[in-house]
Amino acid sequence: MTVINPIEEAEALADKLSGLDLADRLSLVAGLGGRVVFTTSLGIEDQVITAEIGTHRLPIDVVTLQTGRLFPETLALIDETESQYDIHIARYEPEQADIDAYATKYGMNGFYESVEARHACCGVRKLKPLARALAGATIWITGLRRGQSANRAETPFAEYDAERHLLKVNPLADWDIDKIKAFVADNGVPVNPLHARGYPSIGCEPCTRAIKPGEPERAGRWWWEQDEKRECGLHVAEEAASIVAQQ
């Protein structure tokens, strides 16, 4: 009996995906079997993926982490996107008990005070809901791109997520922002109006600001922290994710 190495499986899949266009990449992944989940933050790149899933009626579950602190514009876009593509975007919310425990320990907006407190907030509002969203999944699709930040410059088309024991696929890894915007314009994809107001990367409202000219796309996320590699914990190495998850 041949034992398939998951890392080698991911590398082989990445090679296949590299030569395909986006629709074919998603179709290939959707046909691999098992539960395939796409997590969308409703950002412009995620909207491109959602548009392809809806247009081609692909058997991919589309989910979002409704953290309880999203911009009103983001919440409105969820409904608009569902209507335009006749799809359902499943909402995964944090547990109220976790929010209450966080507020007791750090204060409701304690994430401004320390990296530890911010990681703990992301753990409650993002990581725990993500774990529920990915329960039973074999493949996780994301909108990660190499051009989003220096920390994501080596993003592969596919990789093995050892922490979650699934294949993680990044079908837009090689797309730059100009290609994203051209696709949106050519296909009438609905996008968050905050993008036009200087917000290329949009997360929770208290933790996101517009960027300044010349700043990287993700400079407006957790802007008060000095670490240029700052992330919420969804897309970090296994060791770092474990630290975040324990907060």
Is 232 assigned a catalytic role?
A: yes
Which pair of tokens denotes residue 61?
């579950």
Size of the chain in residues: 247
Residue among 121, 122, 204, 232 flagged as catalytic: 232
Cα within 13 Å of Cα(198), Cβ side: 10
Residue 81: CB atoms within 10 A of its CB come to 23
The per-residue DSSP string of the chain comes to: -PPPPHHHHHHHHHHHHHTS-HHHHHHHHHTT-SEEEEE----HHHHHHHHHHHHTT-S-EEEEE--S-B-HHHHHHHHHHHHHHT--EEEE---HHHHHHHHHHH-TTGGGT-HHHHHHHHIIIIIHHHHHHTTTEEEEE----GGG-GGGTT--SEEEETTTTEEEE-TTTT--HHHHHHHHHHHT----GGGGGT-SS--BGGGB-PPPTT--TTTTBTTT---TT---STTS-HHHHHHHHT-
Strands across the sheet containing 166-169: 89-92, 61-65, 35-39, 137-141, 166-169, 158-161
Give catalytic residues, as residue numbers: 232
